[in-house]
Structure 1
């Protein structure tokens, strides 16, 4: 297990190094000069040059890259060009919205997908299975921002059960904060629940066809008992991977949903920073999200190896 973990850790470090290079140079080659953007098109060249020097944009790109990476390793993400505020503080403030939103959406996704996938697998080929699979097909096909707009139309505008946007803040209480995040979490959770339910059904059907399931039935267990005692437990192994990937996606993929609901999260911070050419914020936030995705995948790999010894034996 230790050897497997070290190999995966080395892969994680290499992935992060490659990702940092790609993120930095792709963003740097994007058209537009931040200093020129901040001062306007009619700014004098010497004024633009002075601002570039103040922002540290006059040094070579490779030196800026090393300074940026070195700063992140010590917890210094730089200073925002636009707000003149440490990027780390901006990220910390908005992480308290994006992270609970991702956890809330993942919880809803799991609570919806597990019963739906198990129900469909237990009734393979019947009306219940067809209904669940049809619903999941719609969930996969329809984008989450459409769900978001429909939720706003129904529950915010017509029924007035929820606010159409904004975040009340955790200082108003846990229930108030969760209430503000409910519609965005549902919009994020529904497509992910559809994917997870299909994976759960497929995995469980594969398990139901195994010899040990037939042996369990031959020993006197009912179909329901065999399903819950042996089938579901073994079917969860591949589902762990999907849950880990979904959590990483929910952290990094909420940009549109945060825009729809005007949530002050990381996704909206990226959008605003791109609009204002605040490169240091864009680079740092994107790198943080990539780091979260890679680390979650690393932890999922370790969890997968812990429950499936065959993976460790292959290394």
Structure 2
């Protein structure tokens, strides 16, 4: 197991470095002059030149990158040019909010997508299979922003059951937190559940045609044991892949959903940073998003290790 993890870490670390280079280079392509953001619209050319010199904007790109990445490695993501706040504490305040939303959306995706996909595979070609297929296509096709607006109109404006926007921490008021997170979690979880349905159905259909499943049935084992023990356990790999990638996407920040519901998470932070030309914040969030995908990929590899006996036997 340790050797397996070391192999994956040897791949993950260079990947993170490549991501950091791409993030830094793309940031240089953003329109606008950060010196103008710091100095304001009334800054004189002499003031702008002094700002560029103080913040190292005149240094070669390789020098600027080195200063930035070494600071990041020490946990220093820089300071907001507009508010003069440190980016690190700002991120630390946003991450739990996005994590809460991601966990809630992922829970909805799993409890809906996996059982529905299994039932669709069992009843292939029947009515339930068609219902699942249509639902999955609809869930994938409906834009999040439209579904969010419709849910606000129905449950917040017309019925008054849920708040239209805002966020409450579960450590402050659990009931109010549940109400504030329900609609954004459903909006995100619906699309994820649709994709999970399709992948689970496809994986189950592939496994259920294998010889060991037919052998289990021939031995007279109960159908639910055949489905759950012999079929589903061997269909986990593509499901794990999709689930980890979905969760990585959610951790990267659900931009539209957080904007619609005014959720103060990472997605909303990066949108505000782009509009305000907060280049340091954009870099930090983008790098964090890439790190989230790498982390989820590493987690998927670990889950593969435990779910696949063949992989465990090769690493022994």
Same fold (TM over 0.5): yes
- Unmatched runs of 5 consecutive residues or more in structure 1: none
State whether residues 167 and 177 of structure 1, in contact with CA within 8 Å, keep that contact through their aligned partners in structure 2: yes
The more displaced of 166-175 and 191-200 is 166-175
Q: Paired residue for 2:269? A: 269
- 1:146 aligns to 2:146 (yes or no): yes
The more displaced of 218-227 and 33-42 is 33-42
Q: Paired residue for 1:84? A: 84
Q: Paired residue for 2:98? A: 98
Which ranges of 4 or more aligned residues in structure 1 deviate by more than 6 Å? none
Q: Paired residue for 1:256? A: 256
- 1:166 aligns to 2:166 (yes or no): yes
Note the C-alpha offset of 1:292. 1.1
State whether residues 37 and 81 of structure 2, in contact with CA within 8 Å, keep that contact through their aligned partners in structure 1: no
| Alpha-carbon distance in 2 for matches of 1:53, 1:94 | 32
| Alpha-carbon distance in 1 for matches of 2:186, 2:102 | 10
Q: Paired residue for 1:23? A: 23
Q: Paired residue for 2:292? A: 292
Q: Once superposed, what is the RMSD of the aligned Cα atoms?
A: 1.9
Number of aligned positions between the proteins: 315
- Unmatched runs of 5 consecutive residues or more in structure 2: none
| Alpha-carbon distance in 1 for matches of 2:33, 2:258 | 27
Note the C-alpha offset of 1:261. 0.7
Q: Paired residue for 1:34? A: 34
The 1:82–1:41 alpha-carbon spacing in structure 2 relative to 1, beyond 3 Å, is closer
Q: Paired residue for 2:113? A: 113
Q: TM-score, normalised by structure 2?
A: 0.94
Cα shift readout 1:285-306 (whole Å, capped 9, x = no counterpart): 1101111111111111121133
Note the C-alpha offset of 1:206. 1.1
Note the C-alpha offset of 1:279. 0.8
State whether residues 55 and 81 of structure 1, in contact with CA within 8 Å, keep that contact through their aligned partners in structure 2: no
> Secondary structure of the equivalent of 2:135?
helix
Cα shift readout 1:237-280 (whole Å, capped 9, x = no counterpart): 32111111110011114011111111111111101111111111
Q: Paired residue for 1:204? A: 204
| Alpha-carbon distance in 1 for matches of 2:200, 2:83 | 46
The 1:165–1:298 alpha-carbon spacing in structure 2 relative to 1, beyond 3 Å, is same
> Secondary structure of the equivalent of 2:128?
helix
